[in-house]
Structure 1
Amino acid sequence: MSRRPKFHFRRLVRKYSRPITAYVQREGTYDGGVYKPGITDSFVLHGAVIAMKRTAVNDMGGNYIQEDKHLYTLTPIVHPLDGVKILFDGQLYAVTVNRDHGNEAFTGVYAYFLTWISKFQKEKKDAERL
């Protein structure tokens, strides 16, 4: 007997998903003792970015700030999370934690924390700064 979710999270995430630009920093190399950073690749993923509830920000003892968000996707981010940055609504975020690791099979949704890094004005400059 297969286990069916009681709530269809996939439909909810699909309804509120938007295209999101993600940047992945490749591993750098040393050339003659000088470190050269790797190339930054960009790709588009679809997901729902949701603001954290104010109570979650306050209850966590100051570990989170108001600009931090949750990201819900129907497909996993296949890159190591420490090298992934997300540009959403002119804000740059680092993907810090896979929130509900292990629940993907039940919910069909991949959940991540987005930690706010900074605010930028132009996407071209963002790609250069990553």
Structure 2
Amino acid sequence: MPRRKFTPVAGLAVATLVSVLVVALGAAWWNRPGCYSGRNYERIEKGMTLEQVEALLGKPGEEVPDYEIPRGRPRGEPPDPTFGGDVPGSWCGGVWGDPVYRWWKTRPYVGAAQILVGVSGGRVISKYRVEHFP
């Protein structure tokens, strides 16, 4: 049987396929439930239980003392639109609830990010994401 030659086009096709596969697997890994990520922040919905949020973000959050809750939204942005209309009174903070829980992610040389979730009656009523840069 004659031996086939490896052509540059075939090599390029294989390299492209491998690259696409690596990118797809990386994106799936980064956005999986059970870890801190922007995608998992987007998955948090009003009415979820604290246990569902903890499963989504991969660990229990820490309860935030009232004096550490962010009191203003950057650039006058409204609260997360999926929770709009339920802001208590004249509240100008990014998150509200009793209690409020926080999940941190620290990134060397980049800063830190946190997700805050307000809970009332065992259900999510607000959420807020904050990025801290050095």
Question: TM-score, normalization: structure 2?
Answer: 0.26
Q: Quick check: which one's strand share is greater? A: 1
Give the alignment's TM-score, normalised by structure 1.
0.26
Greater RCO (Cα-Cα under 8 Å, separation 6 or more): 1
Q: Which has the higher helix share?
A: 2
